[in-house]
Amino acid sequence: MLTWKDIIRFATKGSPNPVKRVEKTPAEWKAQLTEEQYRITREKGTERPHSGALCAIYDEGQYNCVCCNTPLFDSTIKFESSSGWPSFTQPISENAIKYHKDLTFGMVRVEVLCNTCDAHLGHIFPDGPEPSGLRYCINSEAMVLDKK
């Protein structure tokens, strides 16, 4: 199980190696994604709180990257955080997520990206429930739910 200490180490010294890599040109991503998906995943945008389609859905399945379909999170680790974005306690595997120190907007945060295609997903915070104490705060537009 990942800890906040692991996340900080990954954000400063490099994330685990991905299983595979997917790289496309901006034109290829634009042809594949909606405008909003492109803005969020490729331009590091965010959706308004409580506006995402996956915010209040708790169906069984796995949440995959909207860009490359890499499995990111399992429905069993999703929880209601009242933050306005889908929240998870752990990624589906340690190398599914890439971590990056984010200093934008005068804050120090840890950005989470898909480790396969570098899609911006959201941010991680150390205020989640036990056992991990982590809250992966993820944009709905960055994921698709693959229902079981």
Q: Which two tokens stand for residue 147?
A: 């229902």
The residue annotated as part of the active site, out of 65, 68, 117, 137, is 137
Residues 41, 122, 61, 22, CA torsion sign: positive
d(CA 89, CA 27): 34
Q: Which two tokens stand for residue 3?
A: 């800890």
- Residue 137 catalytic? yes
Q: Which residues are catalytic?
A: 137
